[in-house]
Amino acid sequence: MTFDHDKAMTLSRPDRSAIGSMDEAVKPLCDLINGSDNYFTTSSCAGRIAVMSESGDHNKQKAEWLFVSHHPISITTLKSSLFPLPHHEVWFRQESMILHVMCRTHEDAFTLVGEAREVGLKRSGVISSKNRIVVEVLGTERLELPIAVNGELVVSDEYLELIVDIANKKLKRTREKIKKLKNRLSTFLGP
């Protein structure tokens, strides 16, 4: 398969994400990348705040998403997602943006990695296989904290307020990096 064939096939498929569409905050960046000759996106997330319950034995974890938002949240929103608390570990998570971009050449890949790192997306790198060159663009903003165990909160309301505030700030920084990357890429990919 050629790069152009892979691009046409990938971009013609329906969105398979849980929300059924691209996150609005990352769409302008993906549109810019997908409109270029040498790149296309295969997956994207603009960053999110989530609460999940984990259960299972030591060999296999099972996770259930209790709450997911791609926007800043309030303490009220967080608390309403927690009750009734499941009798498992409950984790509060804030995840940075992630973007997988197929590249025509290794040179294109290294250019994209360089631009991503310039705007602070430091965990970006090339994933290369026999026939494909993919760049993973990943930020460093992240929180992952246990907040409940066996149906009981293990943190105070004040601590929940603190982590919501920190998560919202990290999500805002992620959005700023997405905009900066789009602006940098616009200089050589087009408007």
What single string gives the DSSP state of each residue in 23-79? -TTTHHHHHHHHTSSSEEEEEEE--EEEEEEEEE-SS-EEEEEEEEESS---HHHHH
3-state secondary structure (DSSP) of residue 150 = coil
Sheet hosting strand 39-45, strand order edge to edge:
39-45, 98-103, 133-138, 125-128
CA distance linking residue 116 with residue 136, whole number of Å: 10
Mean pLDDT of 76-104: 93
What is the tens place of the pLDDT at every residue in 35-61? 999 999 999 999 999 999 987 654 446
Considering the domain delimited by 3-189, tell me its CATH architecture.
Answer: 2-Layer Sandwich (3.30)
- pLDDT exceeds 60 at position 19: no
Mean pLDDT of 168-186: 96
- pLDDT exceeds 60 at position 17: no
pTM (predicted TM-score): 0.87
Res 15: pLDDT: 64
When the pLDDT of each residue in the chain is averaged and rounded to a whole number, the result is 89
The amino acid sitting at 154 is V
Share of the chain above pLDDT 70, in %: 91
- Smallest CA-to-CA distance from 135 within 113, 107, 105 is with 113
